Amino acid sequence: MAAETAHFHNYNTCIRRSYVAGIITGRRHLLLKAAASSQPMDIHTSNSYKQLGMFSLRKKIEDSVNRAEMVGLTALEFEEARRIKQEEMIREYDFWDDLAKSSDVLIKLADSAKVVDALKDLTYKVEEAKLITELAEMDIINYSLLKQAYTTSVDVSKFLNKYEMSKLLKGKYEFEGACIIIWAEQLVGMYMKWAKKQGLKGRIIEKRCRSKAKGGIKSVIIEFEQKYAYGYFLGEKGTHRMITSHPESLSEVCSAAVDIVPLFLEETMDLNVDEKDLKIDYLPLCENVRGRRGSIVQIQHSPTGLTVHSSGERNQFSNKMKALNRLKAKLLVISNDQGVSNVTEIKKDSVIDHWHQETRRYVFRPYKLVQDLKTGIQLADPNFVLNGNLDPFISAHINNRHVCEL
């Protein structure tokens, strides 16, 4: 019976994937046909489109698509896993024993099915918007079709806003579930927005996922190659907690850890680390930033307990070298903080785990407050901070470090 059920589930999964691929392919053909029927733009028409904000529309569409790709696909995996788990409960549960509980399970299953369908529809809309912007780059599309893509992207943003609020502010959520997906995505967005305001260019080079059963983002790595980036972000290291209180007075906490590692330290090339002190593992990776499944190289430094990883490079050897450089950079920073001249003199007990170092709290309910525990600064609007307005915290932390060095 179990084998038949598994076969039926796999068959349904294949049918759904074929259906999704068919819809996307069909939309792609329709859009290409519409684009081909558009009249070529002369210089006067092109200028008119610029005045109407064509490039502004394209930017807004791209921002919406990037956001959807960051959270939407991972959320879909999580919600599908939750729906499958609920279906298994129904098969194993005797409904006649507890009718009230049975009704609750069926209602939750119906809600999960609606969310899964909505997230699948989201992927269609994202694919459609991406295709239109790709055509726009080739100058074979008219303004009305681009405006259609913008309308689609607005629908995508509205759905994501509603989905995020439903997970953050309603009912209970699992620590390793959708809350983590959203909270980690919001923190990534916060840093990217702040960097953009400062003229810094950041790129997401790695994105690690949890297992499909648990769902969520395990870690995201962003690289900022510009000068002083490490100094700016240093105060952000530690745990960032999202807190909301429900009507039944039960507080929910969702946490994400932020680690800051300097890039391009020249000293790392000269630093020798004994290979017998390293434990190297090669782990499966759900999907890298290029959209391909791959593996992750994880290195643990036994004397200090430090663990680093890399998955964003083209091959396993390059990932190993990248992870090793990150380890060396962290060892150099720690040895400097502890005032020792050699990494072998680092005291393991004094190495601070960023999960145990709380940096900031973001309270959404019953009141709104952002409390920075390192600087003591408090702001009244969490959404203002998450929109990339980090200057008060960053400036205060830099000033505090300067005072300590005097």
Helix (H) or strand (E) holding 301: strand 294-301
Q: Where are the domains of the chain?
A: 2-170, 228-406
CA atoms within 13 A on the CB side of 370: 17
Classified as helix, coil or strand, 293 is coil
CA 231 to chain centre: 23
- 211, amino acid identity: S
Omega before 382 within 30 of 0, i.e. cis: no
Among candidate residues 288, 291, 275, the one with its CA nearest the CA of residue 319: 288
| Residue 193: count of CB within 10 angstroms of its CB | 16
Query: Do 362 and 382 contact (CB within 8 A), yes or no?
Result: yes
Among candidate residues 333, 292, 337, the one with its CA nearest the CA of residue 312: 292
Distance CA 256, CA 188 (A): 10
| Residue 174: count of CB within 10 angstroms of its CB | 14
Average pLDDT over every residue of 343-348: 85
Distance CA 57, CA 68 (A): 17
* 214 pLDDT above the threshold of 70: no
Laid out side by side, the sheet with 306-310 consists of 278-285, 294-301, 306-310
* 138 pLDDT above the threshold of 80: no
The reported pTM is 0.57
Those residues with Cβ within 8 angstroms of residue 52's Cβ, 6 or more apart along the chain or in another chain: 143
**pLDDT by residue (tens digit) across 247-277?**
555 566 788 888 888 876 565 667 788 889 9
| Residue 112: count of CB within 10 angstroms of its CB | 19
Residue with tokens 């090793």: 324
Which of the listed ranges 47-61, 205-219, 257-271, 316-330 does the model predict with the highest average pLDDT?
316-330
**pLDDT by residue (tens digit) across 277-298?**
999 998 776 554 445 556 789 9
Distance CA 312, CA 221 (A): 9
Q: Can you name the CATH fold of 228-406? A: Double Stranded RNA Binding Domain (3.30.160)
pLDDT of residue 375: 93
Model confidence at 217, pLDDT cuts 50, 70, 90, reads low
Model confidence at 17, pLDDT cuts 50, 70, 90, reads very low
Neighbour-count burial of 163, counting CB atoms closer than 10 A to its CB (0-12 exposed, 13-18 middle, 19+ buried): buried
**pLDDT by residue (tens digit) across 226-249?**
777 888 888 998 889 888 775 555
* 342 pLDDT above the threshold of 80: yes
Query: Do 357 and 259 contact (CB within 8 A), yes or no?
Result: no
DSSP, res 236: G
pLDDT of residue 345: 87
Query: Do 325 and 313 contact (CB within 8 A), yes or no?
Result: no
